[in-house]
Structures are given as C-alpha cells and as structure tokens.
Chains A and B, each alone.
Chain A
Amino acid sequence: MSDNKETVIALLGQPNSGKSTLFNALTGMKQHVGNWPGKTVEKKEGSFVHNGKNYLVADLPGTYSLSANSDEEMITRDYIASGKADVICILADSSQLERSLYMLADYSGITVPCFLVLNMSDVALEQGKKVDAAKLEEKLGIPVVSFTATDVRSYDAFYKALERTTKQKTVLNTEDLEERYSTIEEYVTIKSVISDNIMPGYSKMWLAAKAVEGDAPVTARIRNASDESKRKIVDDAIKAVDKGVLTMGKCKFEWIDSLLSDTTSSRQSKASLGKFDRIITHHIWGKPVVVLIIILGLIGSFIPALPLMGVGMVIGNIPDPLNEMLLSVGCPAFIAAIICDVIMRSIAFIVQMLGFVFGVTLVFGLLEEIGVMARISYVFDNTMARFGLQGKSVMPFLISFGCTMGGAAGTRVIDNWGQKVLTIALAWAVPCGAAWAVIPMLSTLFFGAWMPVIIAVILLVMLLHMWITAKVFGRSLVKTEDRYGMIMELPPYHRPKWGALLRYVLGRTKDTFVRALKVVLIVALAFWLLSYTSSGDISASILYKVGRVIEPVTSFFGMKWQTFMAFIASSLGKEGALGVLSTIFTGSGTISVGSVVSGAAAENINELLVANIPKPEALALIFAMTFNMPCIVALAATYQETHSAKWTARIALYYTVVALVIAGIAYRIGLLIW
C-alpha cells in the first residue's frame, strides 16, 4: 500500500557538508532543477519512495547560517516559514563537527521537526574522532545519525531517523542554549515584548536572538507586530547591543562545546597541511599545479567521452546513404533533406559533443566530491574575485579552450547561480577547439608569417572581452554586497560515492541531450529553410536575399554578404564557416546544416578564399568568427545549465553584437595597414 500524501523533507547544511551528495544519493535521476521564483538562486527538488511512502526532497541553498545577509539565506528562512517542509534534515560534517554544528545552533528555536545527520563519519573515524550519536540524541531531543554517503548501511539509519522524525515530530531541545542566551540582558528584554506567532515556525527565542544579532528583517517584523511602547523597548535594547553577532555567536559555540565535551572523543588532531595541500598553497607552484590538474582532468574527460563520440560519428555517416535510399523509394527531395540534413546531422552533432559533456561532468564532479575543487577555488579565488567570480570559475574557462559546451557543463560545481551564469557568459569568449582548428589556418592563409601575431591579439582581445563582459553582466548577476574576500574552509578529502555520482552524471547528460536536441533542431531547421533552394543555386535562397539587402550594414563591420553568411554559419558551428564559403565561391550545392557541421569544403578552397576576400575583410571575418557565439550546442548547454531562456538569449545577442563590433574594428585597422 502506498500513501499518496508525500512527506516533504528539506536538506539544510553549510557548503561542503555533503548536502548535494546526499541529495543525489536519495533522489538519483528523479531531480528537477530550476530557480526560486524571482531570485537568482538555484532550486533543486527531487523525490524518492521508501517503504511505500513518497518523499519530496528540497535541497535548500547552501548557506553558512540563517542570518539575512544573502538571497540564499532569505530563501532558506522563508521556505522554513512557509510550512512546506514536514521535516528538516540538518547536516553537519563529523570531521569538523565543532564548526559545522553552527547551523544546528542557528536553527535552534525553529519549531519545524528536524533531525541531525553527522555526515562523513568515515573521515572523522580516520582522524580518530568518535561521536556518541545516542548521547547527542539524548541531549538534543532529536534523532541523530552517524552517516557515510558511501556506506550502504548508513542509509537504513537515515531512513529510520527520517521516519521517526516524521512520526514523532521531534523538535530540537533549546533549553541549554536559551539559558546561555538569557545571560544577555537585551535578549531577555526583547524576548519579553515579542508578540505571539509573528513568523510561523520561528519561536520567540529565535526571533529575539536574531534581533540581538542586528537582523534587519526580523527586527522589522517584531516592530510591526508591537505597539508604540513595546517598539520603544525593542529599539532601545537593540541600540544598547554592541556587536550582537559576536555575542550570540559566542553563546552558540559555547553551547556546541558543551554538547561535544562528553559526546566526542578524539586523538589530538594535528593542524598541518597534507603533501598535496602544501604544493597547492605554494606561492609559486600553486597556480601551475592547478592548471595542470585541470588540463589532466580535461584529457581524462575524453576517456569516458570516446565511446559516445564514436557513436556520434557513426550516426554522422548515415545521412548520405539514407538520403539516396529515401530518394530511390520516391520520397520527395525536400522531406529527405529535412530528415537527413537537418535531423540526422543535428543528432550526430549533439551526440558527439555529448560525450564531452558526460566526461567533463564525471571527471570534475569527481574532483568536487573528493575535495579538490575547493583547493582549486582557494588558489584562484583572488584572481577570479576581480571578475566577481569564485576560484572554481577558472576550471570552466580552461575547459572552454577545448569545448564551450564542456565548459558550461563544468560550471555545475559553482554553487552560486549568478556566478555560474557569469562564468558561462565569460567562458563564451574563450575560443574553443573548433576555433583553434580554423583560425590559425585562415590566419596563415591570408597573413602568412603574421599568424602568431594575430593569435596573440586574439588572446588579448579575449581577456579584454572577458573583462568588459564581467562589467556588463556582473552588476546584475553578482551583487556588490555579495562580493567579499575569501572566507572559506578547506574540507578534508573524502572518498567519492561512485553509484550516486554516475547516476547523477547520466541524468544530467540525458537532460542536456533532450534540451540540446530541441534547441539544435529548431535552429538547424530555421537555418536550413532560410538557405534552401530547390535549384541548388544559392542566389535563390532567402538567406542570400536577406544577406544582399543588409549588405550595406554588414559592410560597415567589414563583411560582404558572403563573409557575413560565413559569420552566421559560424554561430552554429565554427567549422561550418569554411563549408559555407566553399559553397558560395564554387557556386555549387546548397548551404545545408550538413555542410555547416561537417565543414566539408572544396579542394581548392584556399585559392578561392584568397582570390575572393581582400585582407581587411579576412581579418574582420577571423575576429568575427572567433568571438561569435561558440555554436548551437553551446547555446543549448548554456540554456540547460542556467535554466533561463532570458539569460541565454541575452548572452547570445550580446555576443553576436560584440563579435560584429570587434570585426568592425579589425576591419578598420586592416584598412589602415593594407
């Protein structure tokens, strides 16, 4: 018998408490990722069934506390107050229990039933730390579970605790902490005047403590619910508080210390860095080592990627024979072309790229789980902070030299949505592998020995582009008050949970495939229709006509209609630009998505290009192609990762315009030289 009413469980924990690992392990592929309404914060929900009962899991944003300093914290507080959650599961890291119990202390006074998961108990044991969960349970009045994400038996204990919490509605015992709070005069004063039920789920104790901490939203609520005289008492008390956060923080940690004093035992833990951490924190070797790790990770990504890439190539061989077959059985050429040129080639293209997404998600997801990403973040945090990003953003940037789609997939380890979108927006400026296959060749063709200079200028323009883009989008994506210097912990290393990781990676790869397929098919079909001619003569196509009409405009940016079409094609896939130019200059065949994707070009393409394109225009084209939208699959991946059509469109439009501007500048400079 299954119970139809689902129990809602919300996961609450500091970053690095293993929250996402637990979330993935519980929900597997049954996940839904979106944004909290009107907020730039990611919302993750999933579901699972246990003992015939349905559970909905809400992964609350990772925050360090429940104060009101960020959107993440406000969302968490509002969610708890909304009453949607039946049970809150609070996570703490057993190996750093003293610090990570702060969340529990900050939760004290909230009356929603909860239980405590002491995660990473294997790491703690290795460090010689033992926690007496039963004794802790007695003191706290809520179920306490020692938990190791990689240990199957842990889950039984987890489910039992969950069921007990649901059934008995266990609420955290706050007596001891409140006693400590009560030594603070202002706390007592404020608590005595707070009206009942001003915030559902939050007790007077919690509200008074936050008011002492100087929490503006809580203070406003208390004031609004009070009459004139009480309001004055509250205001006076708050005015009398000096550094309330510190006072209350001290109480909380003293409470934690007393909790742990007779429930934990440990060998003297040594405060020293491991061998790897010594290298990574080295002032000279730190950065090179991190870059090397990312490059190795990138190479490593190809190993799991190869089979899928192979499948993609096989699919890529189908269209030509299939086309002939369809025509021979009397299928109209138009339909056959749609099936072969649009659908089949799009699928082949996506599947090939998908292998890379799979590899990157797996390898870098693994590095995240082990704890290496936190180190990468540490090493590059100061550099990336200039862009308003976290240190982890360096990884997607480097991956994007290989493939922008992989770079976008790599942003999954960035836990702040705004920074994630900004990272993707900047990663687009990094010329991808396809650009590196085309650009040096074109540069050599037109400018011979000057090729290295052009490449160097491209890299400089890339940095400038990223800097400007960070300015343009940074303001709305990463608020200035969210930008403060690094305060982060270096978590201990842990073993990865392979099963959960693989299921998660497969799930995300599947989602990416579905989403990419939709986007690519629509764009590919539109492009194909615009370029389709029944006669095979390009000048009969809509694209040609439009190209000719707007040529006066594109000429301003240095591009005639031919190169402009190559530019448009390069936004679908960089390799495609050559195929398009080849088609135009040889005057044979239609520009199909096939030619765009496969980059098939005529034998004498080099001579054709040099004969038809003057040097300044070639320079404009090179820059326009390099800094154009990377490709349609990257566009789809961006949509998949940001789950915001608005931001995806905004970034795409921005890149198209900026590429044209850069091309225009390159063209003008070219005119001065030649």
Chain B
Amino acid sequence: MKKLSELAKDSVAVIKTLNGDQRFMSRITSIGLTPGCTVTVIKNEKNRPLLVYSRDTMIALNRTECEMIEVEPGGKTA
C-alpha cells in the first residue's frame, strides 16, 4: 500500500481507499476517483500538483490531497 503522491511518473495503480473529511471524499468521488478505480500517474514533480489520468479524464490534484489517497501499485493502464 502506498500513497498516490509516492508513485513515480507513468506508474499505474488501483485506488484502495480514501481518507479525509466528508467534503473531501464527496468531491474526490464526484471527479471519479473511487476505490477500485485505476489511475495512471502522468506527472509527479516536487512542489507541483500531481497529474493523473483516470476514467478518460486528466485530473490535477494538490499534493496534500494525494496524501489522503491510498493505492496498490500495479494493474493495467487505464
């Protein structure tokens, strides 16, 4: 189990669980990042928002928010 922010560029992972308050979870769900969904990390650079690709969508996420997303590396490309 890893945090989404710890994944290297181009790696693929499946979301295991999300932590955080009601608001955050509701928001992150509505953009399609739910447990069981596959994400591809497009860009992960220090001090910059993370770019991930999931459900046909390019999503930009703040680093602090990524800390709250736990993933299992592996899985096929979205």
Contact = CB atoms under 8 A, between A and B. Distances in A.
Given A486-B61, A489-B57, A65 B26 contact: yes
Find the residue from A97, A129, A488 having the highest chain B CB count within 10 A: A488
Interface string B1-45: 000000000000000011000111111111110111100101101
Given A245-B25, A253-B37, A486-B60, A102 B17 contact: no
Contact of B56 (A98, A246, A249): A98
B62 to A, nearest CB: 3
A381 B32 contact: no
A209 B61 CA distance: 27
Contact of B55 (A99, A486, A490): A99
Q: Interface size for chain B: under 10, 10 to 19, 20 to 34, or 35 or more residues?
A: 35 or more
A13 B52 CA distance: 22
A250 interface: yes
Contacts of B77: 271
B53 A484 contact: no
A214 interface: yes
Contacts of B64: 485
A378 B49 contact: yes
Given A271-B77, A283-B45, A378-B49, A250 B60 contact: no
Nearest to B40: A271
A172 B47 CA distance: 44
A97 B35 contact: no
A292 interface: no
B30 A485 contact: no
B42 A489 contact: no
Contacts of A246: 17-18, 25, 29, 34-35
B59 A489 contact: yes
At the interface, is chain B mostly helix, strand, loop or mixed? Answer: mixed
Nearest to A69: B23
A537 interface: no
Interface in A461-493: 481, 484-490
Contacts of B37: 253
A270 to B, nearest CB: 9
Contacts of A214: 22
A96 B30 CA distance: 13
A269 B51 contact: no
Nearest to B50: A486
Nearest to A214: B22
Contacts of B28: 487
Nearest to B34: A249
Contacts of B58: 271, 273, 277, 489-490
- Among A249, A281, A481: residue with most chain B CB under 10 A: A249
Contact of A487 (B22, B55, B56, B59): B59
Interface string A181-203: 00000000000000000000000
Given A99-B31, A484-B27, A486-B49, A281 B43 contact: yes
A246 B33 CA distance: 9
A254 B34 CA distance: 10
Contacts of A419: none
A213 interface: yes
A24 interface: no
A381 B13 CA distance: 26
A41 B38 CA distance: 35
A243 interface: yes
Nearest to B77: A271
A650 to B, nearest CB: 29
A93 to B, nearest CB: 9
A250 B28 CA distance: 12
B29 A249 contact: yes
B56 A99 contact: yes
Given A95-B56, A283-B47, A102 B18 contact: no
A253 B47 contact: no
B51 A102 contact: no
B49 A64 contact: no
A595 interface: no
Contacts of A96: 55-57
A148 interface: no
Interface string A213-247: 11000000000000000000000000000010110
Nearest to B66: A485
B65 A487 contact: yes
A213 B64 CA distance: 23
Contacts of B47: 283
B56 A269 contact: yes
B34 A98 contact: no
A97 B55 CA distance: 8
Nearest to B29: A249
Nearest to A278: B43
A100 to B, nearest CB: 8
A352 interface: no
Contacts of B51: 273, 281, 490
A163 interface: no
A271 to B, nearest CB: 4
Contacts of A277: 58
A106 interface: yes
Interface string A360-393: 0000000000000000001001100000000000
Contacts of B27: 64-65, 69, 484, 487
Interface in A306-325: none
Nearest to A243: B25
Interface string A62-73: 001101010000
B59 A253 contact: no
Contacts of B63: 485
B66 to A, nearest CB: 9
Given A14-B30, A271-B42, A487-B31, A99 B61 contact: no
A-B pairs, 6 with minimum CB distance? A485-B62, A249-B29, A271-B53, A64-B30, A99-B32, A65-B30
5 contacts: A98-B55, A243-B25, A253-B55, A484-B27, A488-B60
Given A67-B30, A245-B22, A273-B51, 7 more contacts: A67-B26, A102-B30, A245-B26, A271-B40, A283-B46, A485-B65, A487-B65
